[in-house]
Amino acid sequence: MSSLESAQRYFNLAADQMGLSANMRKLLLTPEREVKVQVAIERDNGEVATFIGYRVQHDNHRGAFKGGLRYHHEVDADEVQALATLMTWKTAVVDIPFGGAKGGIQVNPKELSAGELERLTRKFIDQIHEILGPDKDIPAPDMGTDAQIMAWIYRQYSKYHGDCPGVVTGKPLELHGSVGREEATGRGVSIIAAETMRRLNRDIKGATVALQGFGNVGSFAAKFLYDAGAKVLGISDAFGGVWNKDGLDIPGLLAYANKNRGVQGFPGGDSVTNHELMTSKVDILIPAALGGVLTKEIAELAQAKVIVEAANGPTTPDADEVFERREILVVPDILANAGGVTVSYFEWVQNCQHFQWELDRVRNELHKIMVASFDKVWTTAEQKKIPMRTAAYIVGIGRVGRATQLSGIS
Ligand code: NAD
């Protein structure tokens, strides 16, 4: 099943509960605009290289389109559309004044030099700058893109439209970025994990955790969970995994992974495979790497009590059904990883006001939004006796649907 089919299946489960008509479903699922452009650059050796760039603007009834830009060799129109719809429901779940979009270029960024990457990014903005803007569509980093690429986007867009930092978020601090943006998704994940434990009458202190992925999201989630007193027993990345039954020393592991290629070989633990980690007996399992990793087979073997989806789309619909049958609680991506877009919103607010917030303010506001959003989804799930994912979609789709109706169709 493609990521677009998965996203539509989750949408339809919630739409069934809401009794949405076929016409309304079509209206809410159809993207407002899909753009596909040629991005041709001269490589360092003088040859011409041609890439395909995408931007899908799914919905803007609640505010400007908002969503990341992915540089990856598997980017295609279907995946970008699926991720754009997820952004629409995500911004609605956390109730920030944006719609949903996503973009990308089908490219392996590791195969390009820094100069080629810069030319590629600037050329892409040449092609799509007219549909971007701080009140139109605001990109951000995603897999394969970073603060440097956001800086090039900001400067290239400003060549056409005058200085405009609010056109993109996730920028470097020296170029109107926000403190607390880099840590935001992982911090949000740790807040959601703690709230989940609290609702289950458990304390995050002493709770056991296994985490897949030790990149931006996974490493900050591990750090904040460790700070809160959770025992992170296992962590894996693309090269291997480590396990310590008494809890890993996360500050030590962070320092080790920075110096070495990932977590493999860390002296404070034994090695563990991805499969062992995903099926280990822990309170909380956190997938924070790729989509589609929690398959039906893994779901049948999983021993975690709670799954907190830090990655986008880590659970296949088949696996979701197994988790429901086995009463394993799944906290969905559109809630669990919304901390990143929430602090992107704070960055945009600061850019619009030409005023910088302090870290404490960013963290406090993030905490308020994540807890309020968690409560809304939890209460909806409890009242309707439905899984948290369906509840989150109902909250998101409901807000977008009402904004659409209030806006009027013509
Ligand atoms: P990243 O590139 O910084 O890190 C990815 C991590 O996953 C790395 O540690 C990598 O080694 C690991 N990994 C890759 N393949 C693996 C495999 N086969 N097995 C185990 N580990 C593997 O990416 P990130 O920004 O941390 O994003 C991770 C996930 O979170 C993605 O699904 C992304 O879409 C989602 N997400 C990110 C943000 C954000 O703000 N960065 C926001 C929302 C959602």
Question: What is the Cα–Cα distance from 379 to 365, expressed in whole angstroms?
Answer: 21
DSSP string for residues in 292-306: T-B-HHHHHH---SE
Element (H, E) at 101: strand 100-106
Residue 313 CA: which ligand 1 atom is closest?
32
Q: Does position 8 have pLDDT exceeding 70, yes or no?
A: yes
What is the whole-number distance in angstroms between the Cα of residue 291 and the centre of ligand 1?
9
Mean pLDDT of the 273-285 span: 97
What is the whole-number distance in angstroms between the Cα of residue 250 and the centre of ligand 1?
18
Percent of the chain residues topping a pLDDT of 90: 97
Is-contact 362 178, C-beta < 8 A?
A: yes
Enumerate domains of the chain plus CATH numbers: 32-173 (3.40.50.10860), 178-410 (3.40.50.720)
Radius of gyration of the chain (CA): 21
CB atoms within 10 A of CB 106: 19
Nearest to 141 by CA among 188, 95, 184, 201: 184
Residue 291 CA: which ligand 1 atom is closest?
32
Contacts of 361 (CB under 8 A, 6+ apart): none
Pocket test for ligand 1, best of 96, 237, 286, 342 (most atoms within 8 A of CB): 237
pLDDT of residue 246: 98
Phi first, then psi: give them for residue 95, nearest 5 degrees. Answer: 55, 45
Mean pLDDT of the chain: 97
Residue 337 CA: which ligand 1 atom is closest?
43
Mean pLDDT of the 26-30 span: 96
* 220-233 residue pLDDT tens: 999 999 999 999 99
Q: Does position 79 have pLDDT exceeding 80, yes or no?
A: yes
Nearest to 66 by CA among 74, 57, 75, 77: 57
Question: What is the Cα–Cα distance from 335 to 175, expressed in whole angstroms?
Answer: 29
Out of 102, 223, 231, 305, the active site residue is: 102
Is-contact 58 85, C-beta < 8 A?
A: yes
Question: What is the Cα–Cα distance from 394 to 379, expressed in whole angstroms?
Answer: 12
Give the confidence band of 136 by pLDDT, cuts at 50, 70, 90: very high
Kindly report the pTM of this predicted structure.
0.96
Give the confidence band of 3 by pLDDT, cuts at 50, 70, 90: confident
- Helix-helix angle 339-353:359-384, to 10 degrees: 130
Mean pLDDT of the 305-313 span: 96
Phi first, then psi: give them for residue 245, nearest 5 degrees. Answer: -65, -20
pLDDT of residue 1: 80
Is-contact 351 343, C-beta < 8 A?
A: no
Q: Does position 166 have pLDDT exceeding 80, yes or no?
A: yes
Q: Which residue lies with its CA nearest to atom 21 of ligand 1?
A: 237
Question: What is the Cα–Cα distance from 198 to 303, expressed in whole angstroms?
Answer: 20
Pocket of ligand 1 (CB under 6 A): 142-143, 185, 212-218, 236-238, 262, 274, 288-291, 310-312, 337, 340
* 196-223 residue pLDDT tens: 999 999 999 999 999 999 999 999 999 9
Give the confidence band of 2 by pLDDT, cuts at 50, 70, 90: confident
Angle 52-55-57 (CA atoms, 0-180°, nearest 5)? 160
pLDDT of residue 93: 98
What is the whole-number distance in angstroms between the Cα of residue 145 and the centre of ligand 1?
12
Question: Please, where are the H alpha helices in 60-166?
Answer: 77-93, 114-128, 147-161
Is-contact 298 278, C-beta < 8 A?
A: yes
What is the whole-number distance in angstroms between the Cα of residue 406 and the centre of ligand 1?
37
| 90 part of the active site | no
What are the structure tokens assigned to 170, written together? 């996730």
Question: What is the Cα–Cα distance from 210 to 213, expressed in whole angstroms?
Answer: 10
* 104-120 residue pLDDT tens: 999 999 999 999 999 99
Pocket test for ligand 1, best of 211, 217, 223, 285 (most atoms within 8 A of CB): 217
pLDDT of residue 410: 67
Is-contact 283 305, C-beta < 8 A?
A: yes
Give the residue, 410 or 262, on which the prediction is more confident.
Answer: 262
Residue 214 CA: which ligand 1 atom is closest?
9
What is the whole-number distance in angstroms between the Cα of residue 290 and the centre of ligand 1?
6
pLDDT of residue 361: 98
